[in-house]
């Protein structure tokens, strides 16, 4: 499959009709707010996928006007302004069509017999592009910027078409599985959240019994754990026999710290130590690894010490609201409130409770430089608690969901490591598909 490689600039590929590059549509505020085509901004292009949560839509009557800036399957997407300049993604047939914003560019193959769009996807992640990008970034209002003129000057080393397609197929298969795992995890998390909402917020099984109906989708043993009536409380009507308590009296809430970074004996050990930065790229509420590690001496400098696996971590500042269950023992910095859960309120219950009550948690944050919720302000928040038997039943129901999420995350990490190992070797020609 190996053959002669060709070096060409993007301008040459444009002149030969092999490539199209473009930027996005400059939308006016009055053009948005409808139910028509999606308007994709650069902020929705993440390091791992395109996140359509919260996207805006054009008004339907503008569909023809914005059509020239619509995505097509096979496009490579590049962010072109701000600190994320050079972040890339790819348009697959699983994505809905969308209109590019001005801070996005696209690279599109115009001649699939000579240029594979999937190859450009992975070339954009390789050292040849990254090194050129570093030299081409200019500054506008202190923000990095990659113009269309700069992009035309990019130089790409093209293998023969068959090799381009093979590289795209092998690496694409790995990314497809990673994406499938991400979507599966989103579904599993949504299932757990839906069950929590039904049982502990909407009280659906109690309402069903009150109406003389059997609770839906619940086995008889679990249904028997729900009462058939409500009682008054400071939070309104709650199921009979349930209680309301401050969260600080239900679970142990502790903080963390940072050992002196000037003291080498505290760092580069074997104990995980986390900051909110580790949470910024999490795709599911499970923490598998941390950027930095502490020694025994470093752990000794943190009052909460090494927290056990299963501890629920809530970032308390910069920003407030990141959530994850630690899959391993971990120490935390001062940017967290750690919830050491128990049979009275399991970590899965408290994770979903925090997600459901995040607006109230955020409302209790204070600070002028940045918002922060202290343990003192967090502990009084009230929790509606079911009996221990029902808490155990919920935990047993959702535990397999989070176990599968964790397994998928481990698999995706292994696949990403393999992809990142193969990518530079395939692009450089050090490896060919036939030798893998």
- Residue pair 184/408 in contact (Cβ under 8 Å)? The answer is yes
Residues 55 and 22 in one domain: yes
Whether 1 is in a domain gets the answer: no
Could you tell me the CATH number of the domain that includes residue 322?
3.90.220.20
The reported pLDDT for the residue numbered 1 is 47
Q: Which two tokens stand for residue 12?
A: 């040459």
The reported pLDDT for the residue numbered 235 is 85
* Angle in degrees, CA 219, 221, 222, rounded to 5: 70
The reported pLDDT for the residue numbered 142 is 61
**Distance, CA of 375 to CA of 102 (rounded, Å):** 43
The reported pLDDT for the residue numbered 2 is 52
Domain boundary among 109, 139, 158: 158
**Distance, CA of 82 to CA of 2 (rounded, Å):** 38
The reported pLDDT for the residue numbered 4 is 86
Residue keyed to tokens 């948690």? 361
Residue keyed to tokens 């040459």? 12
- Residue pair 278/285 in contact (Cβ under 8 Å)? The answer is no
Residues 187 and 150 in one domain: no
pLDDT, one tens digit for every residue, the chain (436 residues)? 456 899 999 999 999 999 999 999 999 999 999 999 999 999 999 888 899 999 999 999 999 999 999 999 999 999 999 888 999 999 999 999 999 999 999 999 999 999 999 999 999 999 999 999 988 766 555 678 899 999 999 999 999 999 999 999 999 999 999 999 999 999 999 999 999 999 999 999 999 999 999 999 999 999 999 999 999 998 899 999 999 999 999 999 999 999 999 999 999 999 999 999 999 989 999 999 999 999 999 999 999 999 999 999 999 998 999 999 999 999 999 999 999 999 999 999 999 999 999 999 999 999 878 899 999 999 999 999 999 999 999 999 999 999 999 999 999 999 999 999 999 999 999 998 877 6
Determine the structural domain holding residue 311 and report its residue range. 243-385
Residues 369 and 401 in one domain: no
* CB-CB neighbours of 232 under 10 Å: 8
Nearest to 162 by CA among 2, 6, 16: 2
Residues 218 and 351 in one domain: no
Counting beta carbons within 10 angstroms of the beta carbon of residue 58, is it exposed (0 to 12), middle (13 to 18) or buried (19 or more)? buried
Q: Which two tokens stand for residue 159?
A: 């293998």
**Distance, CA of 248 to CA of 380 (rounded, Å):** 6
The reported pLDDT for the residue numbered 43 is 94
Q: Which two tokens stand for residue 254?
A: 């502790």
**Distance, CA of 351 to CA of 398 (rounded, Å):** 11
**Distance, CA of 172 to CA of 167 (rounded, Å):** 8
Whether 271 is in a domain gets the answer: yes
What residues form DSSP beta bridges with 337? 314
Residues 351 and 371 in one domain: yes
Sign, CA dihedral 162-167-173-175, equals negative
Residues 346 and 391 in one domain: no
């Amino acid at each position: 499959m190996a053959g002669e490689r060709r070096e060409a600039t993007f301008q040459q590929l444009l002149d030969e009709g092999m490539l199209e590059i473009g930027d996005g549509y400059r939308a006016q505020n009055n053009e948005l707010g409808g139910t028509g085509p999606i308007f994709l901004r650069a902020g929705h292009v993440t390091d791992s996928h395109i996140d359509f949560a919260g996207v805006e839509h054009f008004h339907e009557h503008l569909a023809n006007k914005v059509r020239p800036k619509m995505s097509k399957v096979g496009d490579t997407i590049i962010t072109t302004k701000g600190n994320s300049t050079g972040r890339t993604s790819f348009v697959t047939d699983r994505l809905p069509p969308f209109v590019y914003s001005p801070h996005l560019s696209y690279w599109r193959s115009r001649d699939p017999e000579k240029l594979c769009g999937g190859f450009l996807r992975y070339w954009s992640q390789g050292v040849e592009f990254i090194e050129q990008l570093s030299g081409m970034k200019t500054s506008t209002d202190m923000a990095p910027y990659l113009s269309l003129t700069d992009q035309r000057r990019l130089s790409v080393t093209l293998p023969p078409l068959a090799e381009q397609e093979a590289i795209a197929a092998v690496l694409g298969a790995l990314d497809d599985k990673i994406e499938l795992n991400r979507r599966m995890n989103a579904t599993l998390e949504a299932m757990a959240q839906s069950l929590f909402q039904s049982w502990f917020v909407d009280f659906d099984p109690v309402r069903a019994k009150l109406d003389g109906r059997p609770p839906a989708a619940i086995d008889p043993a679990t249904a028997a754990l729900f009462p058939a009536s409500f009682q008054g409380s400071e939070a309104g009507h709650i199921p009979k026999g349930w209680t309301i308590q401050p969260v600080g009296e239900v679970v142990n809430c502790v903080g963390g710290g940072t050992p002196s970074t000037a003291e080498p004996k505290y760092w580069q050990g074997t104990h995980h130590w986390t900051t909110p930065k580790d949470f910024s790229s999490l795709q599911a509420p499970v923490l598998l690894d941390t950027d930095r590690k502490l020694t025994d001496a470093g752990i000794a400098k943190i009052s909460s010490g090494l927290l056990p696996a299963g501890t629920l971590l809530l970032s308390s500042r910069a920003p407030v609201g990141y959530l994850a269950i630690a899959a391993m023992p971990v120490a935390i910095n001062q940017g967290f409130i750690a919830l050491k859960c128990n049979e009275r309120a399991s970590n899965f219950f408290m994770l979903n409770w925090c997600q459901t009550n995040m607006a109230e948690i955020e409302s209790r944050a204070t600070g002028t430089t940045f918002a922060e919720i202290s343990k003192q302000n967090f502990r009084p928040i009230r929790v509606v608690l079911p009996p221990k038997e029902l808490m155990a039943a919920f935990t047993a129901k959702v535990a397999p969901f989070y176990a599968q999420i964790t397994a998928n995350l481990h698999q995706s990490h292994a696949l990403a490591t393999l992809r990142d190992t193969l990518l530079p070797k395939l692009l450089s020609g050090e490896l060919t598909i036939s030798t893998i």
